[in-house]
Structure 1
């Protein structure tokens, strides 16, 4: 099977890497973190001008018609540069919901605003009790003569502080863990009854806890099947998991490069510590873990296009297991090999480990996905 990038994909990779190298140095990132919501509008606008925000959308919708491979290329580059901007919640997740489930009117209204960078989105799904289960939803949506009324609370909503609109999962019928009766709604962040509490997460990004109290929305706010939206939600979340796998590979790749460079320059007892055989072995183990993660990330990228949702979910779960294992190992070894400096806020390497840790817990950690793979009857 051919795993090499095409000429167009190589150009895309070189273009994104070159752009981020110019605008996303470590000191520049610190400045972006101080802006409202923790990311730079100027960088977001330049990502739009580069065409990266319109990458996965069809040409008839104003995009470029790219596929999962191109998304993984961009996500890996974003990980390598520790980018703060909300590409995942806006382009991958909200864009995925619109691509796969949006009506013609919804696409016409919202996709152009994603492509040109004028609006960002957030996915409000997690609740206090739901852990990683997408079908565990108690937020309620009640049908009215004029549309819907939504009541509920959502936690750790990435980009929730700055989003112009929220993609909210809510239950229209059934009990807490029923797989039917879950619908996705598009809710304006400024709608009456929406309360947003913002905070910074461990990796430097921003999230919000959101309370929806008798929020009234029109009938056009429902995305996809108004009675059974869970298959759409699961499909797009699987795409998000695959994208996170690619981002993690970028983080791990850069962590290994930084660590090897440190081993080549840091001296102890009059010699570089990279000359010690035991540390060379650790670096070699890190490389093996990276290549295992890279191969499984490629597999997840391929699995996004699987027609069978069960096979897609099982394959991406297996990839998330390996990404979690490799990320934890490479992150820990990177910190140890850097020594005490690796624990400081001034050291870049520690920020990579923090982001890897957050990715591990996004949409299911390694233990959760290992259980999913085991229950599916597949061997890992």
Structure 2
């Protein structure tokens, strides 16, 4: 896989960076989180018009049919701007699941509105008693009528669940994990939304005989593929966020003076910034490893590369975020600077889509295989 930017990728990167720099400023992001629960319909529509949401959607359904390499390029730019909209749950995770596991009729029905931004997807696979393990789901599904299904159970920690109008829900059907599509306005579905630490809006779901559409009976395989695509995108976004946070920190050190000299002139602080840059470069490299792993034919290789990238990126994200706050001194602890927004977003890299403990276990199993 070639990660050198093609001419088209460079053009997309440049236009996307200019767009988010002007339309997604610090003030706009704060206002968005405060007034809209981190989901701006106008910005969402703009992302759809630029092709971000349909990047991985097949061309026959109104998308661009791009692969993991281009997705990494786009997510790096979105991470730099700390874009809060649910691009990864819908444009990456849901798109990967639908592309590889949904029947053709379902793809034709759901891909075009996904690419246009009309449908906002979220994946509900976590439960209060199962932590991050997708294979221990307790929610139950049963058939009703000739083609319909109903779901019962509870889902927690649904990433961007407050903004979604369609949920991909995991549930046990005849002893096997399956995935279902559930509409937000489905009867029997209760949604409890709440703000998260990084100014996003998650949700918990309670399902009581909720009507659902079967997506696939290969639920565990489909969920793993989708989450792996999401992790690869998350790693690229985190690398972009670290990159921008280092720039912000360097600008601050160059402007702030101590003993009549800029803080940037002190060698000890230069060394700390250099360590931040090294960690960012390591994370970016591992984002490329994760993207490369998505194309691996061997499942164990894919798991190994993706989990390794997740662990190392999460570690780098925490280091860069903490160093940035410390180098800003007391100002780094205030809510007036955007360094705090980046710190919170980078801190969440470890807990979203499986924490370090889970992925270390997964990596070990993949190595043994």
* TM-score, length-scaled by structure 1: 0.94
The 2-side partners of 1:52 and 1:2 are apart by 20
Residue 230 of structure 2 corresponds to residue 240 of structure 1: yes
Q: Give the Å deviation of 1:50.
A: 1.2
The 2-side partners of 1:66 and 1:24 are apart by 25
The 1-side partners of 2:88 and 2:243 are apart by 20
Residue 331 of structure 2 corresponds to residue 341 of structure 1: yes
Contact kept in structure 1, 2:304 and 2:367, CA below 8 Å: no
Q: Give the Å deviation of 1:41.
A: 0.4
Q: Counterpart in 2 of 1:23?
A: 23
Give runs of aligned pairs for residues 159-178 of structure 1, distance below 5 A: 159-174=160-175
Q: Counterpart in 1 of 2:145?
A: 145
Q: Counterpart in 1 of 2:245?
A: 255
The 2-side partners of 1:160 and 1:207 are apart by 5
Q: Give the Å deviation of 1:93.
A: 1.4
CA shift digits 1:197-225 (9 cap, x unpaired): 111100011111110011123xxx1112x
Q: Counterpart in 1 of 2:8?
A: 8
Contact kept in structure 2, 1:235 and 1:309, CA below 8 Å: no
Q: Counterpart in 1 of 2:364?
A: 374
Q: Give the Å deviation of 1:2.
A: 4.8
The 1-side partners of 2:16 and 2:326 are apart by 31
Alpha-carbon RMSD: 1.4
Structure 1: give runs of 5+ residues left out of the alignment. Answer: 175-180
The 1-side partners of 2:183 and 2:357 are apart by 35
Q: Give the Å deviation of 1:163.
A: 1.3
Residue 182 of structure 2 corresponds to residue 187 of structure 1: yes
Structure 1 residue runs of 4+, over 6 Å off?
A: none
CA shift digits 1:166-206 (9 cap, x unpaired): 100001133xxxxxx00000011111000011111000111
| SS of residue paired to 1:361 | coil
The 2-side partners of 1:253 and 1:328 are apart by 13
| SS of residue paired to 1:135 | helix
Equivalent pairs counted in the alignment come to 367
| Alpha-carbon spacing, 1:264–1:36, altered in 2? closer, same or farther (3 Å) | closer
Residue 78 of structure 2 corresponds to residue 88 of structure 1: no
Q: Counterpart in 1 of 2:289?
A: 299
Q: Give the Å deviation of 1:333.
A: 0.5
Structure 2: give runs of 5+ residues left out of the alignment. Answer: none
Contact kept in structure 1, 2:304 and 2:363, CA below 8 Å: yes
The 2-side partners of 1:340 and 1:96 are apart by 43
The 1-side partners of 2:361 and 2:103 are apart by 35
Q: Counterpart in 2 of 1:364?
A: 354
The 2-side partners of 1:141 and 1:8 are apart by 45
Contact kept in structure 2, 1:97 and 1:223, CA below 8 Å: no
Q: Counterpart in 2 of 1:231?
A: 221
